[in-house]
Structure 1
Amino acid sequence: MGPKNTVSAFDIGGPLALTRAATAVLDARGVVIGWSPAAQQLLGYPPDEVIGRTGASLLAVPRAVPADDIGARKTFSEVLTVRHRDGHAEQVAVTVCPVDQGEARPAWVLAAAGLQEEQVWEAGQAMLHGLATQSPIGLAIYDAELRLAWANAASDQEVGAPLSEYVGKTSEDLYGVGEVLTEGYGPTLWEVMRRVLNTGEPVIDLHFRARPPAEAQVDHVWSCSYYRLLDGRGNTLGVCEDAYDITDRYRAQQRLTLMALAGRRIGATLSVEETAGQLADVAVPGFCDEIMVDLVSVVLDGEEPTAGSVRQPLMRVARRGRVGGRDGAGEDRFAAPSCGHPVWYAPGSPQAVCLATGELVLERSGAGVSGRRSAAPGAAAPLCLVMPLRARGVTMGIVTFLREHTSFPFDADERTTGDELVRHTAVCLDNARRYTRERKAAVTLQRTLLPHRLPAQSALEVACRYLPAESQVGVGGDWFDVIPLSGTRVGLVVGDVVGHGLRAAATMGRLRTTVRALARLDLAPGELLSRLDDLVGQTMDGADWGADRGTRTSARAGGAGAPGGWSDTGADARSGQEGQQVYDDAVGATCLYAIYDPVSGLCSVASAGHLPPAVVDPRTGVVSFPDLPPGPPLGLGGLPFENTEISLAHGSLLALYTDGLVESREQDIDVGLEQLARVLGGPARPLEGLCDQTLAGLHAGEPARDDVTMLLVRTRLLDAEQVAVWELPARPASVGLARTHADQQLEKWGLEELAFTTGLVISELVTNALRHASAPIQLRLIRDRTFICEVSDSGHTSPHLRHAATYDEGGRGLFIVAQLVQRWGTRYTPSGKTIWTEQALPPGQQAWPTAA
């Protein structure tokens, strides 16, 4: 529809139309011969006062009418100042029209209206003319059947055809499948207009996305307003639509929203794969129709790519795509199998060029994308934008953005948005890569420091689990250990270092090594923890190197900070804090140490701020948590560590664990202990399966936020035939008596080959007890995986191995004993001490069969 047709729709007389204007008829001499009621209303003169007077007599300001206009007998318009009947001057707009009377004298018809009314009408006419022909706002009128009745020139341009070709069509006929973006309204414009038609409530600034007929390959967004049209009698005529194309503004707002969303979602985790997936989730469909994220393989392992490693093939880590057109928006075309495999790009492809140059590449691409389906016949190739993932000057991979459904071009603004999106992702990927490297190093160190194989022993059946934390803070310092001790006893350790990461793992290694060294001294659990606590405190007190660069006050020395914290002053006070942190991690560590004796069935336990073990009775399956005397965490000092003895029947289950197993942010630790009791209780089950059931029951489908360490042991008692005990009187004849008892027992066990060596060992140990100690003296022999000989007395002085000089009369006994046995040592008891030796069983002899 052209402008001429549009203006004719508004070509009406307005205030000067003969049906509305004040009119007068003049003869050829200018005398008034006709006066209308509208003229009387305008100037106040009744007809009898005007008819017969000249028109000029009514003028307040005389004015001559051009003779040319009169002579040419043509219509002309003037603005005249006339005198109102009450005396004031009135400006009126006058149109003079000639009246053809044939041969008679000529006459004129004057149409007049108030100047202000005429000016308002002319302004309205100009506005309507502008809206119809020049306004960028699309105007359309739909009738009561919601079919197009009229549209202005802006709407003509969108449709690209004259008005006559699309009058009578609905909005769906014009724009196809559109989408109402504003929430709270129907999905189509027809439903929105029907609502306005029925309720009369206008709709303001409704956003609608569709493709206009004149540009059917590109989405546009309009801001639309609708209101109902009524005639003079209040009858509904239809709906008027105002629409303004806000595509550029909408896309700019979408870009801002996209970047805000990317800031919230990308980098929310420290996983390389998840970060790449977050980029894909954000980009589709908000930025592109299809995305592929390919990374250098070493990035997935946490390593930094080098010039040699940045080459094809790459690893596909994320891929998303929309199915079909707008109807399939948001549906993922690619399932998991399309990721996690190498991809190769042909030389000269946009991806290969981007990877080689490190610059973005923009072109139309159909077949150059590896693993991508071909475009439909006759369809335009998709727009392809490839950008490098670079952080700290290192290329980690590439991102391929594809557009084929929206067909929006990747203009300068779009490329800037894509660049910001990829830069943000690259930084997050680099952080995730570095975290992966540190986590792998910490986990490797942690697993290296933990026992690789549990030692062979007869006292316990053992199963264990270590589950590193999957949180962003990294692995912690949890550890466990099983330490064989003298007399077939076994030491059990579980501990937890404060903090996470490499430092916590290194601190854990130091503590575990220290515990193993102290355990070899055969110390009671409480005494071992006391010495360990002293060593941690001494390490803190002695770790003040660089103190001249600042003042550091240890919590043990009365500092005001938290346990293990330092109070620093001076400009360079922090310069040594990185080195101090490895010591700080040990402060506040918890530890539980237990010694189980399979001969007596007693388990001695002491705790340094650690959770109590769980004990399962083999007869009833009831779970109990022994009430251990509370001890402070390591490094704080001030309180003793007390021993608690627990009598365990054969087949009892003892569970040692760290707080990561039973504690979480969502539940109190008491709830976790109750859950642990429910899982462990009941009939006896294989320990390996019970470990898995415990982890599944307490951490079902949830990532571990803290390290989880669990040590399950089932106790055994040595058979009475494996142990022989004699009380010896405190007289010299006891040496021979002890050898006689030993010879008889060795013969009973079939270990006659050890009789000579055992006789020498017993003679030396019993003689030392008689000379340097006092009664009671006890001899105990144990046949297990080795042959054990123990002599106990009431003395507290330990003999020392020394090398006797040539002319010394004594001092060679223990030296000889040490050469005859595999191991020997001393352990202290509440009533004295025990000196023990171990000998290997003769070839062909096996360990005593252990009861199931």
Structure 2
Amino acid sequence: MSPEYPFDEAATARAVVDDRGVLVEWNAGAERLLGHPAAEVVGRPAVDLLAGEAQRGSLTPDGERWQGIVTLRRHGGGTLPVWLLAHRVRPRDDGPHQWLVVTPLDDEARPDGDPLDHVGLLESPCPIAIYDDRLRLRRINSVMSEVLGLSEEHVRGLRAPELTGRRQSQDIEQQLLRVLTTGRGTDVRTYVPVGGDRTHAWLARMAPITDAKGRVCGVSVAAHDFTDQYLAQERLQLVNEASVRIGTTLDVTRTAEELADVCVPALADFVSVDLLDPLEPGGEPPTGALSAPIGLRRVAHRSVNAGSPEAVVEPGHQDEYPTPSPQADALLAGHTIVASMSTGDLEEWLSWDPARAERIKQYGIHTTMSVPIRARGATLGVAVLTRFKNAQPFTPDDALLAEEITARAAVCIDNARRYSRERETALALQRSLLPRSLPRTAALEAASRYLPAARSGVGGDWFDVIPLSGMRVAMVVGDVVGHGIQASATMGRLRTAVRTLADIDLAPDELLTHLDDLVVRLSEEAGTDAGPGEVGATCLYAVYDPVSRRCTLARAGHPSPVMVPPGGPPRGIELPAGPPLGVGGLPFESAEVELREGTVLALYTDGLLEARDRDVDAGHALLCTALSGLADSLDETCDRVLHSLLPPGGVPDDVALLLARTQGLPASRVATWHIPADPALVAPIRKQVLEQLDLWSLSEASFTAELVVSELVTNAIRYGSQPIRLRLIHDTATLICEVSDTSHTAPHLRRAKIFDEGGRGLLLVAQLTQRWGSRHTADGKTIWAEIGLLGEE
């Protein structure tokens, strides 16, 4: 007895035999039947109990169930023919199976007039079973006998779990006990395999049976087979599940994995998804008629076994499939093909592929179903579903279900493929518009990183480092609103505009004003359907002068940079909050800060700080923490910043990061003269310049420098306004001559006529120097020219 079954269990002779044929259980009923105590038989081969022909044949059952009459040895001698029912019992953890062997013993005498003998339900067309007050089977009708595949005379006296050997029958017995003890009927839905390998969904209606005095003396069970409705509901649920689980990302590989995950184990024991490679990288899949052999690339597979040991091809590898093969046959036919080992459909294919033949034999694969993956008229690949643990072959309903799920997955795979192609195009455009490498300047050392968004597509983030006159350098970081190719194209236009405006040496606030006008025009060109602001952007522009070690910055709706002074903690630079570009009509303001040599500036876009699990202030604090341990290498610092602030699975928005370490130009490399407005002083100035070049060991540049200084100083005296200043600056590769005055009139080149006495000076300067130009200052203008230092590196 047990709490689950509070009756005498000895009314059934029951034994359990393990997969080696050794007896591991022997109950009191078995001892009562044959007389062998449990201590004598447990641990011994079960075949020792067989007599006659059965012993010599060793009786190895096939399938999931066996029944028949065998002759058994009794304790003390003699034999006894016994009808036995054996069920293969599979453990939950996929370990070795066992056999449950049972037979009912002669029931005790029942008094005449037992109400169970007169139950009138046995003529019902539904399967009917009658259980007595010990929950042992008393009667079944012919319909139930046909369902079970067992006769009433053999199974009378067995318990429900002993009839099927399934765990579900133990739950049924608990329901029977509840009806017996409470006297209230109940309905039970269950999915119980019966009759060997057959499986059915049942609605079991249990009702108490009472005697003349109203006492419960048994339970009647009327079973209704609703397998078709159950399977239809399961198929509908699987289709709904597929619509939710497939296509969660715009990634081809992940979508293929989701297709395999949905089908295992609900529809198959092993699923492989193989796709056709496009004819060219980033192109469309082949649209014409396919011909064998067909090359397919394994994208995903899934198995009920951990590690998918049935797979011959690993994900990412390509394999050739001839005809006949499940993959090629389905793709060439254009429809689902089911192949079975029992019909020999796979023999020719496996004859030339011993590796697959070995796997099929090893795991007992018996059926495959190949479903083409097609979307929008294009063939993308094939999904192959395989069964080996599920003993049932694929049915036409299974094929319809697989086609429905695969069709949904095909659209998602095609969407992911199209998105990937567009994203690669946008990435290529983005990379072509961003600087391939940052220029090396005497003013600063720089390093950068750009990361595209993981899901929303490439955006319009950009950065740049622009050398300016006087060894100054401009740093810019910007972010265009939106994502995709349009945002990348807009970014390219803005970056080009910034470089053009920087080339004429506009101050940061003036440059942002001109850039704002451009964005307003771009927004108007984009159309009026979405109203103003269709095109928008943010930008930060900074100019650093290594001579004065001062940096001028202005921003348009962009995050302020972080400054890390040498030996000091990181801190943000307070800048006037300018409006985003594209608003129009609002002024921008500049701020000037002094930077010690070795100061690191961190310029970035908002994607670096923003995250779902933290606010911007927390992101800013993380950035300062990451910058607090600056490495000698700015590249290493960039990597540490990204690792500290960004999630490992990809960023939701584009990220641009620019780190710049400032360098100061020593005073010994700068010489300055204040020049009175007297043409007679030009010759003494030339002499002083030559002396300074000798002091710097730059005599090879003396001739050119003398001509350039003479021309620029003469023009300033003749056409400029007081005060006039001459400045020479040099690094290892360049000598810069600058002449400043307070006139705002900028010079320009012109071609002098034959009889003109002047007009050739600037043309001569342009021909003798690497480049020249003018820039406006707060109190006038500066004309500058750069002379290359030959022999210097």
Which TM class, normalised by the smaller chain length? Answer: 0.7 to 0.9
- Whole-Å separation in 2 of the counterparts to 1:797 and 1:396: 67
- Whole-Å separation in 2 of the counterparts to 1:267 and 1:288: 20
- Whole-Å separation in 2 of the counterparts to 1:484 and 1:331: 56
Which residue among 139, 143, 154 is the counterpart of 1:150?
139
1:132 aligns with 2:115: no
The 1:144/1:338 distance shift into structure 2, 3 A limit, reads farther
Output the amino acid matched with 2:510.
Answer: E
**Does structure 1 conserve the Cα–Cα contact (< 8 Å) formed by 2:426 and 2:485?**
yes
Q: Alpha-carbon deviations, 1:454-483, whole Å to 9, x = none?
A: 112121111110000011x31101000111
- Whole-Å separation in 2 of the counterparts to 1:763 and 1:535: 40
Counterpart secondary structure, 1:505 = helix
1:497 aligns with 2:497: no
Structure 1 unaligned residues grouped into runs of 5+: 1-123, 181-186, 324-329, 545-551, 554-560, 565-583, 847-852
Partner of 1:813: 761
Partner of 2:750: 802
Partner of 2:776: 828
Output the amino acid matched with 2:372.
Answer: P
- Whole-Å separation in 2 of the counterparts to 1:807 and 1:756: 27
The 1:686/1:742 distance shift into structure 2, 3 A limit, reads same
Counterpart secondary structure, 1:338 = coil
Residue range with higher mean Cα deviation, 171-180 or 784-793: 171-180
Counterpart secondary structure, 2:623 = helix
Which residue among 407, 428, 431 is the counterpart of 1:423?
407
- Whole-Å separation in 1 of the counterparts to 2:322 and 2:270: 20
1:727 CA displacement: 1.9
Counterpart secondary structure, 1:344 = strand
TM-score, normalised via structure 2 length: 0.79
**Does structure 1 conserve the Cα–Cα contact (< 8 Å) formed by 2:630 and 2:637?**
no
Which residue among 476, 479, 484 is the counterpart of 2:462?
479
**Does structure 2 conserve the Cα–Cα contact (< 8 Å) formed by 1:219 and 1:408?**
no
1:811 CA displacement: 0.7
Structure 2 unaligned residues grouped into runs of 5+: 1-114
Which residue among 623, 633, 641 is the counterpart of 2:580?
633
Number of aligned pairs?
668
**Does structure 2 conserve the Cα–Cα contact (< 8 Å) formed by 1:478 and 1:495?**
yes
**Does structure 2 conserve the Cα–Cα contact (< 8 Å) formed by 1:739 and 1:762?**
yes
- Whole-Å separation in 1 of the counterparts to 2:192 and 2:672: 97
1:614 CA displacement: 0.8
- Whole-Å separation in 2 of the counterparts to 1:815 and 1:299: 56
- Whole-Å separation in 2 of the counterparts to 1:378 and 1:437: 41
After superposition, residues 398-413 of structure 1 pair within 5 angstroms as 398-413=382-397
- Whole-Å separation in 1 of the counterparts to 2:513 and 2:505: 14
- Whole-Å separation in 2 of the counterparts to 1:158 and 1:361: 32
Counterpart secondary structure, 1:313 = strand
Counterpart secondary structure, 2:462 = strand
Counterpart secondary structure, 2:278 = helix
Output the amino acid matched with 1:250.
Answer: Y
**Does structure 1 conserve the Cα–Cα contact (< 8 Å) formed by 2:453 and 2:655?**
yes
Partner of 1:358: 334
Partner of 2:507: 524
After superposition, residues 309-320 of structure 1 pair within 5 angstroms as 312-320=294-302
Partner of 2:88: none
1:223 aligns with 2:224: no
Counterpart secondary structure, 1:563 = coil
After superposition, residues 768-787 of structure 1 pair within 5 angstroms as 768-784=715-731, 785-787=733-735
Output the amino acid matched with 1:563.
Answer: P
Which residue among 153, 159, 178 is the counterpart of 1:164?
153
Counterpart secondary structure, 2:690 = helix
- Whole-Å separation in 2 of the counterparts to 1:797 and 1:517: 20
Q: Alpha-carbon deviations, 1:401-438, whole Å to 9, x = none?
A: 22333344433333222221111111111111100100
1:259 aligns with 2:247: no
**Does structure 2 conserve the Cα–Cα contact (< 8 Å) formed by 1:217 and 1:406?**
no
After superposition, residues 434-513 of structure 1 pair within 5 angstroms as 434-471=418-455, 473-513=456-496
Partner of 2:497: 514
Counterpart secondary structure, 1:297 = coil
Partner of 2:668: 721
Q: CA RMSD in A?
A: 2.8
The 1:615/1:228 distance shift into structure 2, 3 A limit, reads farther
Output the amino acid matched with 1:210.
Answer: V
Partner of 1:705: 652
1:588 aligns with 2:536: yes
Partner of 1:68: none
Partner of 2:78: none
- Whole-Å separation in 2 of the counterparts to 1:195 and 1:741: 115
Which residue among 535, 560, 563 is the counterpart of 2:532?
563
Partner of 2:228: 248
1:169 CA displacement: 2.4
The 1:683/1:331 distance shift into structure 2, 3 A limit, reads closer
The 1:294/1:742 distance shift into structure 2, 3 A limit, reads same
1:711 CA displacement: 0.4
Counterpart secondary structure, 2:506 = coil
Partner of 1:654: 601
- Whole-Å separation in 1 of the counterparts to 2:233 and 2:301: 25
- Whole-Å separation in 2 of the counterparts to 1:766 and 1:342: 73
1:615 CA displacement: 0.9
Partner of 2:21: none
Partner of 1:287: 267
1:193 CA displacement: 3.7
**Does structure 1 conserve the Cα–Cα contact (< 8 Å) formed by 2:557 and 2:578?**
yes
Q: Alpha-carbon deviations, 1:254-291, whole Å to 9, x = none?
A: 11101111111111211111111111111112222221
Sequence identity, in percent?
46
Q: Alpha-carbon deviations, 1:293-350, whole Å to 9, x = none?
A: 1101229965321257956221111111224xxxxxx996569983221233342122
Output the amino acid matched with 1:384.
Answer: T
Residue range with higher mean Cα deviation, 415-424 or 608-617: 415-424
Counterpart secondary structure, 1:724 = strand
1:227 CA displacement: 4.5
1:842 CA displacement: 1.8
Which residue among 158, 161, 165 is the counterpart of 1:176?
165
After superposition, residues 731-742 of structure 1 pair within 5 angstroms as 731-742=678-689
Which residue among 378, 390, 401 is the counterpart of 2:374?
390
